[in-house]
Structure formats: structure tokens, C-alpha cells
Amino acid sequence: MQVETWVVADEYDDAALAQLKVALSDLQYTFRHRWSAIIGSQDVRQWEAVGPGGRLIIESETYMGLSVEGSASLVAELQARYEKASGDS
């Protein structure tokens, strides 16, 4: 399996996170919080999304942004759904 990481937006972009949750729901994925921590100046939050195509890890980290990691085909499917819903191309 080829793993890909997609940086969705800045880590503090709550609207992007909300839109990502909608796209995951549209694809029948369950979204749940895994953990969060403050490590020095880094604020890190991680979630897991599980659905018909497998598992995705969503992470929000200071200076790194809001990202999604998983199989390349699944990340591409989610990115297309996210961009379609937000009107981006």
C-alpha cells in the first residue's frame, strides 16, 4: 500500500476541519479523537477515521498544519470530496 499525506489547511483552521469531517461522513467514515498533547511549543491533536476503504489518520500540529495520512487512493478520494464540497478545484 502506498501511503500519502495531504496537507489540508493551517492547523488552526476550524472551518477546514469541519469541512473535512463532512467529507469523511459523506464517504461513510467514523471520525474519533485519538489523543492530543502539548510538547514544548507544539500543540498536536490526532484523530482516526475508519470506513469502507480503510483507516485514515488526521493530525493537526503547530507549524505543520492539518493533514490526512492513509492509502494514496483513499486520500485522493477524500481530497476530491473535500474540494468538491468546498468549491475548490
Tell me the CATH number at 15. Answer: 3.30.160
Q: What residues contact 44, with CB distance under 8 A and at least 6 apart?
A: 36, 37, 38, 59, 60, 61, 62
Residue 83 has a CB neighbour count (10 Å cut-off) of 14
Number of independent structural domains in the chain: 1
Per cent of the chain over pLDDT 70 is: 98
Distance CA 76, CA 79 (A): 5
Distance CA 70, CA 42 (A): 23
Residue 79, pLDDT above cutoff 90: yes
Q: What residues contact 29, with CB distance under 8 A and at least 6 apart?
A: 49, 50, 51, 52, 56
* pLDDT on residue 39: 87
Per-residue pLDDT reduced to its tens digit, 14-28: 999 999 999 999 999
How large is the average pLDDT for residues 38-58?
Answer: 93
Domain that holds residue 54: 3-86
How large is the average pLDDT for residues 66-87?
Answer: 93
